[in-house]
């Protein structure tokens, strides 16, 4: 049992909730964020701006893929989570990762042999509803009273909703505020309605919410949160529109006064061309000429013509219409007369995977389709390619464009969400770092690529463009400070 008392103004306690966090478990970008942002927040413990120390603790589910021996997990608490027809026992385990205290919650709704995310929304609904409620019971059992509960996406949004229901009549949480970060609005947890009823969470009674959303986890969290954060300033505005609001745009407009945008950061220790351990020749913006050796090695590995002057274009990511991979495949198939090479790395929708294979079959002398997730190869592509193609139909934040710029790989991307917040277009500013286009069409992408290739023909202009991208500060420190400022604004 921990002492819940604190002297006002000395310590701010932040309970950070997520479905995944590296190095314990990582499936997607949320794992990067939850594995990095809490550490960045802790690095601001000597916060002279506000005169408070941050005490951040991370909580994730005890997924079956997590190896207990690898992280020295220790049992720390057992408690019950309210449920019908009877409460469900929960167990919490504790570990320390580079100075960050991390809790993992186990219980029957989190099956040991299940994947992190299931295609069965009912199972995920039960898992993450249990986890969200258990996280609140955990801190009660430890007598560790959080000042802020910071949840992420639909998987933990119900912790925010449950907190709002308990706060008026529960002294333990009476001074606890909530922040909900939205990484991808379309993923709301639709299908989890039965789990809410089983865990005794009532539907919302608020006319601002569409009726269909009154039993859906993410909308409930968005209704209850004291502050809502979208993962880029542009996305914070886009979710208020019909195009990106997923049917919640009118409701979100009613809460626009608590919505802000904070860009995700980049783990520059893991993504560093001067120290990257993933089989690349190290370089920096001061010796860019060395970078060519990575390109030649990659061309040799994939039996492409070894010519440093041939532009190498890459796509790295999920093969899904959201990412615009279909636009890339259509565009490249319509560029038979231009000189280019391309490597497509990723997996996803089978029809798009097959279309990528067909592009390679049609252009065996200059195209390769690598249908898999391969983190090591991704590092090598960023360190070798000339151009990253990222024509996303929507992109709340995006990390690939930040990584690419950090590695001297110039992004060509659609002007949406975090892409237009992080990429400065070559024809719009002298501080340019890439190329943007507006329409989600293959022809618009083609035009942007042609503009990019025209600049690449000028070696001095191209290297200056690369260096500007490499010099951009995408570290988590700036983003963490923005979150700290947000935390301190709560209750004002």
Average model confidence (pLDDT) across the chain: 94
Cα–Cα distance measured from residue 176 to residue 235, given in angstroms and rounded to the nearest whole number: 27
pLDDT digits (tens, 9 = 90+) for 241-292: 999 999 999 999 999 999 999 999 998 888 999 999 999 999 999 999 999 9
pLDDT digits (tens, 9 = 90+) for 104-147: 999 999 998 888 998 888 889 999 999 999 999 999 999 999 99
Identify the weakest region by mean pLDDT among 7-16, 60-69, 167-176.
7-16
Nearest Cα to Cα of residue 218 among 156, 126, 125? 156
pLDDT digits (tens, 9 = 90+) for 181-192: 999 999 999 999
> Are 313 and 450 in contact, with CB atoms under 8 Å apart?
no
Confidence at residue 50, expressed as pLDDT on a 0 to 100 scale: 58
Rounded mean pLDDT of 173-199? 96
Give the ranges where 167-248 is alpha helix by DSSP (H). 193-198, 217-224, 233-238
Confidence at residue 364, expressed as pLDDT on a 0 to 100 scale: 95
Give the ranges where 92-204 is alpha helix by DSSP (H). 121-142, 153-166, 193-198
As to burial, measured by CB atoms within 10 angstroms (0-12 exposed, 13-18 middle, 19+ buried), residue 364 is exposed
Rounded mean pLDDT of 205-219? 96
Confidence at residue 244, expressed as pLDDT on a 0 to 100 scale: 96
Cα–Cα distance measured from residue 313 to residue 382, given in angstroms and rounded to the nearest whole number: 10
Confidence at residue 113, expressed as pLDDT on a 0 to 100 scale: 84
Identify the weakest region by mean pLDDT among 294-303, 335-344, 433-442.
335-344
Cα–Cα distance measured from residue 105 to residue 124, given in angstroms and rounded to the nearest whole number: 15
Confidence at residue 10, expressed as pLDDT on a 0 to 100 scale: 77
pLDDT digits (tens, 9 = 90+) for 78-110: 999 999 999 999 999 999 999 999 999 999 999
pLDDT digits (tens, 9 = 90+) for 471-484: 999 999 989 999 99
Confidence at residue 45, expressed as pLDDT on a 0 to 100 scale: 65
Full strand arrangement of the beta sheet holding 387-390: 367-370, 341-345, 312-316, 387-390, 410-414, 435-437
pLDDT exceeding 90 applies to what percent of the chain?
Answer: 88
Cα–Cα distance measured from residue 45 to residue 14, given in angstroms and rounded to the nearest whole number: 12
> Are 369 and 319 in contact, with CB atoms under 8 Å apart?
no
Judge whether residue 454 has pLDDT over 90. yes
Judge whether residue 3 has pLDDT over 70. no
Q: Per-residue confidence at 9, pLDDT binned at 50, 70, 90?
A: low
Confidence at residue 28, expressed as pLDDT on a 0 to 100 scale: 82
Rounded mean pLDDT of 333-350? 92
Confidence at residue 6, expressed as pLDDT on a 0 to 100 scale: 41
Going from the N-terminus, what domains does the chain have, and what CATH number goes with each?
11-265+477-489 (3.40.50.2000), 288-473 (3.40.50.2000)
Judge whether residue 199 has pLDDT over 80. yes
Cα–Cα distance measured from residue 198 to residue 414, given in angstroms and rounded to the nearest whole number: 43
Judge whether residue 4 has pLDDT over 50. no
Confidence at residue 114, expressed as pLDDT on a 0 to 100 scale: 84
As to burial, measured by CB atoms within 10 angstroms (0-12 exposed, 13-18 middle, 19+ buried), residue 303 is exposed
Most trustworthy range by pLDDT among 22-31, 40-49, 372-381: 372-381
In the beta sheet, which residues pair with residue 313?
342, 387
Helix (H) and strand (E) counts for the chain? Answer: 16, 15
Rounded mean pLDDT of 30-52? 80
> Are 320 and 391 in contact, with CB atoms under 8 Å apart?
no
Q: Regarding beta strands 100-106 and 88-97, do their DSSP bridges make them parallel or antiparallel, or are they unpaired? A: antiparallel
Q: Per-residue confidence at 53, pLDDT binned at 50, 70, 90?
A: confident
Confidence at residue 7, expressed as pLDDT on a 0 to 100 scale: 44
Cα–Cα distance measured from residue 465 to residue 43, given in angstroms and rounded to the nearest whole number: 32
Confidence at residue 49, expressed as pLDDT on a 0 to 100 scale: 53
């Amino acid at each position: 049992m921990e002492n819940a008392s604190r002297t006002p103004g000395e310590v701010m306690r932040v309970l950070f909730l997520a479905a995944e966090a590296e190095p314990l478990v990582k499936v997607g970008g949320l794992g990067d964020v939850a594995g990095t942002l809490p550490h960045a927040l802790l690095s601001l413990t000597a916060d002279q701006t506000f005169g408070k120390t941050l005490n951040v603790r991370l909580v994730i589910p005890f997924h079956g893929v997590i190896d207990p021996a690898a992280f020295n997990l220790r049992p720390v608490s057992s408690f019950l989570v309210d449920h019908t027809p009877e409460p469900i026992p929960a167990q919490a385990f504790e570990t320390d990762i580079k100075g960050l205290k991390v809790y993992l919650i186990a219980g029957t709704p989190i099956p040991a042999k299940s994947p992190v995310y299931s295609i069965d929304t009912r199972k995920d609904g039960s898992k993450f509803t249990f986890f969200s409620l258990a996280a609140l019971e955990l801190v009660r059992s430890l007598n560790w009273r959080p000042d802020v509960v910071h949840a992420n996406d639909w998987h933990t949004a119900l912790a925010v909703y449950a907190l709002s229901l308990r706060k008026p009549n529960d002294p333990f949480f009476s001074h606890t505020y909530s922040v909900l970060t939205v990484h991808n609005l379309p993923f709301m947890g639709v299908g989890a309605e039965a789990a809410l009823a089983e865990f005794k969470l009532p539907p919302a009674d608020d006319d601002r919410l569409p009726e269909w959303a009154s039993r859906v986890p993410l909308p409930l969290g968005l209704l209850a949160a004291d502050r809502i954060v979208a993962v880029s300033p542009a996305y914070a505005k886009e979710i208020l529109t019909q195009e990106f609001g997923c049917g919640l745009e009118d409701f979100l407009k009613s809460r626009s006064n608590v919505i802000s945008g904070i860009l995700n950061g980049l783990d520059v220790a893991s993504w560093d061309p001067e120290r990257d351990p993933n089989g690349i020749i190290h370089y920096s913006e001061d010796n860019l000429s060395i970078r060519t050796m990575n390109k030649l090695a990659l061309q040799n590995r994939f039996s492409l013509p070894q010519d440093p002057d041939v532009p190498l274009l890459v796509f790295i990511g999920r093969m899904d219409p959201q990412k615009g991979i279909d636009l890339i495949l259509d565009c490249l198939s319509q560029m038979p007369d231009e000189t280019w090479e391309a490597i497509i790395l990723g997996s996803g929708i089978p029809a798009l995977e097959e279309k990528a294979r067909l592009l390679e079959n049609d252009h065996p002398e200059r195209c390769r389709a690598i249908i898999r997730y391969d983190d090591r190869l991704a590092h090598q592509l960023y360190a070798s390619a000339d151009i990253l193609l990222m024509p996303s139909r929507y992109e709340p934040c995006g990390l690939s464009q930040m990584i690419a710029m950090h590695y001297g790989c110039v992004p060509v991307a659609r002007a949406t969400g975090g892409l237009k917040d992080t990429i400065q277009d070559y024809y719009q500013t002298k501080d340019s770092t890439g190329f943007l286009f507006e329409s989600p069409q293959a022809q618009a992408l083609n035009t942007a690529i042609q503009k990019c290739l025209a600049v690449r023909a000028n070696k001095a202009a191209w290297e200056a463009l690369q260096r500007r991208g490499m010099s951009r500060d995408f570290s988590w420190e700036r983003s963490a400070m923005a979150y700290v400022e947000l935390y301190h604004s709560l209750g004002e």
